Amino acid sequence: MLALLLRDLRLATRAGGGFGLSLAFFLIVTVLVPFGVGPQSERLAAIAPGILWVGALLACLLSLDRIFALDREDGSLDLLATAPVPLEGVVAVKAVAHWLTTGLPLTLAAPVLGILLSLPAGGYVWLALSLALGTPALSFIGAFGAAVTVGLKRGGLLLSLLVLPLYIPTLIFGAEAARRGTEGLSPATPLLMLAGITLGALALLPFAGAAAIRAGLR
């Protein structure tokens, strides 16, 4: 499992692996928002938590199709499916690798980009905390969607259509937690809901993803 994780990390961080693509997209979204809604600090501060969460969510989508596609192309996926290692563990490891190379960098970059949107000082910690709790769910949901569409040609669009509705609860509670923290309200309830979604995704989706891969390889 560790060897598979290190292999996926190397593939993601090498040239063309998509490691910096998500961060670049996140930066572009953050920079473009003031041009669209105006440079007023009060307006930007009000929408900053939601915009940063939407940007992080969309940035996660960019690399989802690479989770299993490369393994499918070179035949590694067939070997992994017949290896003594549980396929559920393979799905979980690949989701973790996606989070380490996409979700974690986005979480670390979000407070810095919040400066561009005039995010109030009290919101930085809660924004980072909500993303740290929510982005693992995005990676595991994305890994499930990638497993469902891995056998389809040009399945990238279908993957986005499949995953986006599943992302909505995470987006709602993540943005709400960041907004409440920014406004000085208690973010405990949305954070608990966000943690519950993440734990549920970690517990259930590796099994669903493994079943989808087995069905696609038959």
Report the pLDDT value the prediction gives residue 19, as an integer from 0 to 100: 66
Report the pLDDT value the prediction gives residue 72, as an integer from 0 to 100: 77
- Is residue 154 over pLDDT 80? no
Report H helices in the chain: 2-13, 19-37, 41-61, 66-74, 76-82, 87-98, 104-114, 124-149, 156-182, 188-217
pLDDT band at 155 (very low <50, low <70, confident <90, very high): low
Question: What range does the domain containing 88 cover?
Answer: 2-217
Instruction: Name the domain count of the chain.
Output: 1
- Is residue 160 over pLDDT 90? no
Report the pLDDT value the prediction gives residue 136, as an integer from 0 to 100: 96
Report the pLDDT value the prediction gives residue 7, as an integer from 0 to 100: 76
Select, from the ranges 34-38, 192-196, 210-214, the one with the highest average predicted confidence (pLDDT). Answer: 192-196
- Is residue 208 over pLDDT 90? yes
The radius of gyration of the chain's CA atoms, rounded to the nearest angstrom, is 18
Angle at CA of residue 77, ends 165 and 10, nearest 5°: 85
- Is residue 64 over pLDDT 70? yes
107 vs 76: which has the higher pLDDT:
107
Please choose, from the candidates 182, 55, 146, 63, the residue with its C-alpha nearest in 3D space to the C-alpha of residue 107.
55
Report the pLDDT value the prediction gives residue 16, as an integer from 0 to 100: 54
pLDDT band at 18 (very low <50, low <70, confident <90, very high): low
pLDDT band at 93 (very low <50, low <70, confident <90, very high): very high
Counting residues of the chain whose pLDDT is more than 90, the rounded percentage is 53
Mean pLDDT of 123-151: 93
pLDDT band at 50 (very low <50, low <70, confident <90, very high): very high
Report the pLDDT value the prediction gives residue 21, as an integer from 0 to 100: 85
| 19: helix, strand or coil | helix
Average pLDDT, the chain: 88
